[in-house]
Amino acid sequence: MKLHELTAHELSERLASGEVSAVEVAEAIFARIEEVEGQVDAFLALTRDQALEQARQVDDRRAGGEKPGALAGVPIGIKDVLCTKGVLTTCGSRILEGFRPPYDATVVRRCRDAGMPMLGKTNMDEFAMGSSTENSAYKVTRNPWDLDRVPGGSSGGSAAAVAAGEAPVALGSDTGGSIRQPAALCGISGLKPTYGRVSRYGLVAYASSLDQVGPLARDVRDCALVMNVLAGRDPHDATSADIPVPDYVAGLTGDVSGLRAGVPRELMGEGIEPEVKAVVEAAIGQLAELGMAVEEVEMPNLDYSLPVYYLVAPAEAASNLARYDGVRYGHRTEEEVADVYDLFAKSRGEGFGPEVRLRIMLGTFALSAGYYDAYYLKAQRVRTLIKQDFDAAFADHDVLISPTSPTVAFGIGEKADDPLQMKLADICTIPVNLAGIPALSIPCGMAEGLPVGLQIMGRPFEEDLILRVGDAYQQATDWHAKRPAL
């Protein structure tokens, strides 16, 4: 098996034994990128020289008798929404074209400290607003399973890079499903941690009460390895939780007997493609064979998740994106302007794409005088009811299970003119972000010749449990081992 085909834990074993060097691994991955990137378009920027230098440093440490961490020498792709010191960070937007941050995001620094060479910045929907990576201002990333289909979004570049063998692991961000949905569509594993488990410092904000950083990888064990690097309190992020972090890899015992799983009726009904539902039901049956007790649960307020999300998230986006005005930083129009308001309008109009402009307008309306109570405040109250539905379900169940995406990967351009259908792509993932709980997506079968994702949701800060369930499923099946014939 070629180096670019190995999982992160397989690379880790070979690096630790001296069978292969970190430089050889990095060079093999860059060779793969050169081979297929022209077809996939997963990256916005590559950092080859920096990655090779980081790999050399890891090799030098090992040669000197050190035993660096488990992921030392394992390369990683970084979603372009995370600040990287001196390296282009555009959030897939023209308004940040050419921007090079003066600092690293905490998660980027932790990966660097762990000895993980940074391959480059991966493509994404502009400011993480989208479910297909078609909203990037620079390029459309393609799904390695079918180059005429989307990889999902907004972390589509990270998911496609892992699926195509262009990166063993990658970082993404998840506001309404942006790690899990592309993981499902690309046939890989992806974890959205509990809100507060991983630092958001240096993550360019979309919706601050929903955003969370997490890993995309070939299998659950790799997700656990990366979480060992990412998780934990960060003094730079007031929302990061000061809660002990377990060893996620040590928790992968393979034993799920006696665990109770609930299947929310609202996430298995209308809108779920019949073939996808059949595959997910078969996966649930497999978990039952492994000793889990499975039963249907009712969570009636989940039906309101989509409208709640599209009031809360755009409102927070309108506030967060107000800083991009052509004065403090970001794109500044070169046209003649009448006054400062004209400068703002022209700079923002040129810099932001149509989806971002739409969500800013929605959010501004929801927060405006006379409408705040009717829309934003009411949405926050219903959000509390959604969280209470999860609390009630978790009182009797250890995990909840659903499809990750209601469909398999759809064609590029297929839903571009139908915003409702595009937003329905996240009906299974959005409730998780509103509740702030962790959720994992793993491949569980094929429909129409394309991957289907299974979503495993857990109580707050019980990432170790959902990773254990996902890993047990992968030990009993081989869907995670299938690769696209790219």
Domains and CATH numbers, the chain: 3-259+401-481 (3.90.1300.10), 303-379 (no CATH)
**Rounded Cα–Cα distance for residues 457 and 436 (Å):** 11
Residue 369: predicted pLDDT? 86
Q: Is residue 139 annotated as part of the catalytic site, yes or no?
A: no
Give me the average pLDDT of each 10-residue run along the chain (486 residues): 96 97 98 98 98 98 93 98 98 97 98 98 98 97 98 98 98 98 98 98 97 98 98 98 97 97 96 97 98 98 96 96 89 94 94 96 92 93 98 98 98 88 92 98 98 98 98 98 94
Residue 329: predicted pLDDT? 78
Residue 249: predicted pLDDT? 98
Q: 439: Cβ–Cβ under 8 A, 6 or more apart, which residues?
A: 180, 191, 192, 429, 432, 455, 456, 457, 458, 466
Q: Say which of 12, 21, 79, 415 is annotated catalytic.
A: 79
Q: Say which of 178, 240, 347, 405 is annotated catalytic.
A: 178
Tell me which amino acid residue 389 is.
D
Residue 352: predicted pLDDT? 97
Residue 322: predicted pLDDT? 94
Residue 412: predicted pLDDT? 97
Beta strands across the sheet bearing 399-403? 43-46, 118-122, 76-79, 169-173, 213-217, 189-192, 439-447, 450-458, 399-403, 260-264, 293-297
Q: Say which of 154, 155, 305, 441 is annotated catalytic.
A: 154
Cβ atoms 163, 77 nearer than 8 A: no
Residue 76: predicted pLDDT? 98
Residue 1: predicted pLDDT? 83
Residue 378: predicted pLDDT? 96
Residue the block writes with tokens 């609930």: 262
Cβ atoms 262, 287 nearer than 8 A: no
In tens, the pLDDT along 226-279 reads 999 999 999 999 999 999 999 999 999 999 999 999 999 999 998 999 999 999
Query: What residues form DSSP beta bridges with 45?
Result: 121
In tens, the pLDDT along 44-98 reads 999 999 999 999 999 999 999 999 999 999 999 999 999 999 999 999 999 999 9
Cβ atoms 40, 144 nearer than 8 A: yes
* Strand 189-192 versus strand 118-122 pairing type: unpaired
Residue 418: predicted pLDDT? 83
**Rounded Cα–Cα distance for residues 468 and 352 (Å):** 41
Residue 322 — left, alpha, or beta (φ > 0 → left; ψ -120 to 50 → alpha)?
alpha
Distances (CA, A) of 368 to 39, 271, 362, 377, 381: 45, 33, 10, 11, 18
**Rounded Cα–Cα distance for residues 242 and 244 (Å):** 7
Residue 370: predicted pLDDT? 87
Q: What are phi and psi of 287, to 5 degrees?
A: -65, -35
Q: Is residue 154 annotated as part of the catalytic site, yes or no?
A: yes
Q: Is residue 178 annotated as part of the catalytic site, yes or no?
A: yes
Residue 270: predicted pLDDT? 87
